[in-house]
């Protein structure tokens, strides 16, 4: 009885323990999280996850009740640092490349000034027939004859290559010689005037000796405006080199030499060019100094002639005229004054007006039909 009672009591106790183990008391207290609330991440747009309580699994039943374990708090991941946000890198300013320079447009050349139309001259009255001059005595031919016929008057003819008229219309006791900027006489010359060749530039100068041997002239004109870029265009040194090699030896053949014809331009042209040429051309010599002048009034012409007297040689003014914009009326006033001055200036031995043209310009001495203009008549009288 005692054993049965004891057994029964033991069974009851065991059952109670087992029941207590199987049904642990429910803990309704939710522990407060120990960590500080998670701040909103500054740079990450997604919200931080809420901490999750994961309970440990229940232990196997034992003979004695085991208290339920405290729930383990799984900490939220560490918040992103709340220090100042790393600023997004500032965009690197890449300067636009400087635009390539636009080349300036080619300058439009200024139009050439249009000269006022030439006034149509009133028909000139038919001049009375000029008296026939008494026959001139035939001068003795110069050494070499041919193109070297003796010169008697100052005035000459600057004869362009396109003038096919007979130059004998200019024959008078005032006009006594002719040149044409070249070394070949005009075919229509026919001995009307002594012909004086010109070595215009360095071009073809290697043929000069043979040409002179054929022509046998009394004079040779030197380079045509070597101080002018638009004409012979030779430096003093280059001109001296060619002169020494090809022109100076002609003096031994009896040819009289006329120096390069320099202009009335300012330095380094004009007289300054001639001075430099004389310095460079050691051992050179010439018999006459050649000149060209263009300007606006006769006083300026006289000053230029005076500046060339220092060379102590006869002067040949083989071109002269007014500025290119001068009108026919300007020439009507200028030419008589210039002719009087040049005829009476002892330093001037020869001169040639520019020129024997028939182009219709104000300086022409010929009409389109080959007759003399008013300037041409002045020139022969």
Contact 218, 148 (CB under 8 A): yes
The three-class DSSP label of residue 192 is coil
Q: Which of 291, 381, 367, 294 is nearest to 339 (CA)?
A: 381
Beta-carbon contacts of 50 under 8 Å, excluding residues fewer than 6 positions away, are 76
Adjacent-strand bridge partners of 290: 316
**The pLDDT value given to residue 179:** 98
Please give the Cα distance from 150 to 153 (Å, whole number): 10
CATH number of 155-380: 3.20.20.80
Looking at residue 271, the DSSP 8-state letter turns out to be H
**The pLDDT value given to residue 150:** 43
Contact 268, 276 (CB under 8 A): yes
**The pLDDT value given to residue 112:** 44
Structure-token pair, residue 123: 């028909």
Tens-of-pLDDT digits for all 381 residues of the chain?
444 444 445 554 455 545 555 445 454 444 444 444 444 544 444 444 444 444 444 444 444 444 544 544 444 444 444 444 444 444 443 344 433 333 333 433 433 433 433 433 433 433 433 433 333 333 333 333 334 344 458 999 999 999 999 999 999 999 999 999 999 999 999 999 999 999 999 999 999 999 999 999 999 999 999 999 999 999 999 999 999 999 999 999 999 999 999 999 999 999 999 999 999 999 999 999 999 999 988 789 999 999 999 999 999 999 999 988 899 999 999 999 999 999 999 999 999 999 899 988 888 999 999 999 999 999 999
Give the DSSP letter string of 5-44.
HHHHHHHHHHHHHHHHHHSPPP----PPPSSPPPPPPSS-
**The pLDDT value given to residue 308:** 98
Q: Give the helix/strand (H/E) hosting 332.
A: helix 328-344
Question: Largest Cα–Cα distance in the chain?
Answer: 203
Please give the Cα distance from 59 to 61 (Å, whole number): 6
**The pLDDT value given to residue 349:** 98
Per the confidence metrics, is the pTM higher than 0.75?
A: no
Place of tokens 């070949």: 184
Structure-token pair, residue 104: 């300036």
Give the DSSP letter string of 214-269.
HH--SEEE--B-TT-TTTT---HHHHHHHIIIIIGGGGGGTPEEE--BB-SPPTTS
Structure-token pair, residue 335: 């030419």
């Amino acid at each position: 009885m005692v054993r049965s009672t004891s057994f029964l009591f033991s069974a009851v106790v065991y059952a109670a323990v087992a029941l207590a183990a199987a049904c642990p008391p429910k803990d309704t207290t939710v522990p407060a999280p120990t960590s500080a609330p998670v701040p909103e991440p500054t740079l990450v747009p997604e919200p931080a996850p809420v901490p999750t309580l994961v309970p440990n699994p229940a232990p196997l039943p034992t003979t004695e009740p085991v208290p339920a374990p405290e729930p383990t708090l799984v900490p939220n991941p560490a918040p992103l640092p709340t220090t100042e946000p790393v600023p997004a890198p500032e965009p690197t300013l890449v300067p636009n490349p400087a635009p390539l320079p636009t080349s300036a447009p080619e300058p439009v050349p200024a139009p050439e000034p249009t000269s006022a139309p030439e006034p149509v001259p009133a028909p000139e009255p038919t001049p009375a027939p000029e008296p026939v001059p008494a026959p001139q005595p035939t001068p003795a031919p110069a050494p070499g004859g041919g193109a070297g016929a003796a010169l008697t008057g100052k005035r000459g003819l600057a004869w362009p290559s396109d003038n096919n008229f007979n130059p004998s219309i200019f024959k008078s006791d005032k006009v006594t010689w002719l040149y044409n900027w070249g070394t070949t006489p005009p075919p229509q010359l026919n001995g009307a005037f002594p012909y004086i060749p010109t070595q215009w530039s360095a071009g073809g100068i290697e043929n000069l000796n043979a040409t002179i041997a054929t022509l046998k002239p009394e004079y040779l004109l030197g380079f045509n405006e070597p101080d002018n870029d638009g004409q012979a265009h030779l430096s003093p040194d280059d001109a001296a080199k060619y002169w020494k090699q090809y022109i100076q030896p002609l003096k031994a053949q009896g040819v009289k030499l006329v120096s390069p014809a320099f202009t009335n331009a300012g330095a380094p042209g004009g007289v300054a060019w001639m001075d430099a040429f004389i310095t460079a051309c050691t051992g050179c010599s010439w018999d006459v100094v050649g000149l060209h002048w263009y300007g606006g009034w006769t006083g300026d012409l006289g000053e230029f002639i005076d500046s060339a007297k220092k060379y102590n040689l006869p002067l040949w003014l083989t071109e002269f005229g007014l500025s290119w914009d001068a009108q026919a009326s300007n020439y009507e006033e200028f030419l008589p004054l210039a002719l009087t001055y040049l005829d009476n200036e002892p330093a001037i031995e020869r001169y040639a007006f520019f020129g024997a043209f028939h182009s219709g310009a104000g300086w022409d001495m010929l009409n389109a039909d080959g007759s003399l203009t008013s300037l041409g008549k002045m020139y022969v009288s």
